[in-house]
Amino acid sequence: MSSTVGQVITCKAAVAWEAGKPLVIEQVEVAPPQKMEVRLKILFTSLCHTDVYFWEAKGQNPLFPRILGHEAGGIVESVGEGVTELAPGDHVLPVFTGECKECAHCKSEESNMCDLLRINTDRGVMINDGKSRFSKDGKPIYHFVGTSTFSEYTVVHVGCVAKINPLAPLDKVCVLSCGISTGFGATVNVAKPKKGSTVAVFGLGAVGLAAAEGARVSGASRIIGVDLNPNRFEQAKQFGVTEFVNPKDHNKPVQEVLAEMTNGGVDRSVECTGHIDAMISAFESVHDGWGVAVLVGVPHKDAVFKTHPTNFLNERTLKGTFFGNYKPRSDIPAVVEKYMNKDLELEKFITHHVPFSEINKAFDYMLKGESIRCIIRMEH
């Protein structure tokens, strides 16, 4: 790799030229990393629903042309000025949020919401100089959440890169850089169910299944999956889900159904859909006196959470979480070790594989609801 250090690299990237149109594999130029940046050779990336959401560009500021992608694994190709903790050849996971290690959030034991590097979906440039490191024919192509992994090479701020065990298979652990850590951490780090407890998971997509996996690993005795799609129920059993509730099958609110099933309410609930009604149901379905509900899904910008204050006064707790409360650099390497020690299963999340040239197939699988995670293999 040494021959490329300090040089512009020309490589393939899947460019989103406009909203909702298939990505196009293009030859792009990737500039060398600047101060506190690293250039990564991406080996595997996977598709997360967030990529689809910003590709469709229905609910936010559209920014095109753009290189999407944020769940990935790769190897450091070169490092910019001031980077001391990473070196060429290191195995890494780029992460859509960061850890500068200097701000009040990073110094807090409780928070992972770094002031400098927390997710910014509107920014399409690097924070060092406000410019993009990607270009084609002299024109910039924008970054996405600081990662842009749908490219053979990408440039990322050092604070958004987790250095991991070089023996970990990147085609498996790449899914830990977003969705799986988000759901798993929401349960084990935030909901913290006790052994033998009952847990309800709202939404059985990748994040919800990871939340269920967290409940399984925690020793929950009952894990109740709540979803409007009955096709997801059979698959969810692999992740520890023991019972299923489809709100469409009942003529009363799902929180009442759950209360009847559990003698007054579940001990913990984890909400992974982002729909405001599901958020309210998740909170109102926990048991008074000790129940804790954790919100993971991102709601519509105009959504308002409404519940009676008595629900709090009766000693129910409502919490929110971001990226499973993991600090990317400090904590994610240990989650990779959980997989290496067989304390966490990842293979069952990976339902499809495609070569980079067929990346649009990954979008099709997700839009049809056929995949949990589709691994996209770079063809270096």
Q: What is the 3-state secondary structure (H, E, C) of 156-204?
A: EEHHHEEECCCCCCHHHHHHHHCHHHHHHHHHHHHHCCCCCCEEEEECC
Give me the catalytic one of 48, 160, 174, 374. Answer: 48
Q: Helix or strand or coil: residue 256?
A: helix
Residue 70 among the catalytic residues: yes
Residue 374 among the catalytic residues: no
Given a contact cutoff of 8 angstroms between Cβ atoms, the answer to whether 250 and 257 are in contact is: yes
Given a contact cutoff of 8 angstroms between Cβ atoms, the answer to whether 325 and 112 are in contact is: yes
Residue 11 among the catalytic residues: no
- In this structure, what token pair is assigned to residue 286? 């926990």
Residue 329 among the catalytic residues: no
Residue 114 among the catalytic residues: yes
Q: Helix or strand or coil: residue 71?
A: strand
Give me the catalytic one of 11, 106, 160, 272. Answer: 106
Residue count (the chain): 380
Given a contact cutoff of 8 angstroms between Cβ atoms, the answer to whether 97 and 112 are in contact is: yes
Give me the catalytic one of 4, 29, 49, 353. Answer: 49
Give me the catalytic one of 26, 66, 99, 100. Answer: 100
Give me the catalytic one of 26, 71, 99, 271. Answer: 71
Residue 135 and residue 145: Cα distance in Å, rounded? 17
Give me the catalytic one of 178, 187, 262, 268. Answer: 178
Residue 118 among the catalytic residues: yes
Nearest to 101 by CA among 160, 143, 154, 149: 160
Type of residue at 76:
V
Residue 103 among the catalytic residues: yes
Give me the catalytic one of 11, 114, 160, 374. Answer: 114
User: In whole angstroms, what separates CA 351 from the centre of its chain?
Assistant: 17
Give me the catalytic one of 11, 37, 50, 216. Answer: 50
Residue 272 among the catalytic residues: no
- Degrees to nearest 5, angle at CA 297 with 304 and 97: 115
Residue 263 and residue 275: Cα distance in Å, rounded? 26
Residue 243 among the catalytic residues: no
Given a contact cutoff of 8 angstroms between Cβ atoms, the answer to whether 44 and 375 are in contact is: yes
Give me the catalytic one of 103, 123, 243, 317. Answer: 103
Residue 273 among the catalytic residues: no
Rounded to 5 degrees, φ, ψ at 163 are: -85, 125
Give me the catalytic one of 39, 66, 70, 352. Answer: 70
Residue 380 and residue 366: Cα distance in Å, rounded? 25
Place of tokens 């991102």: 298
What is the set of active-site residues? 48-50, 70-71, 100, 103, 106, 114, 118, 178, 373
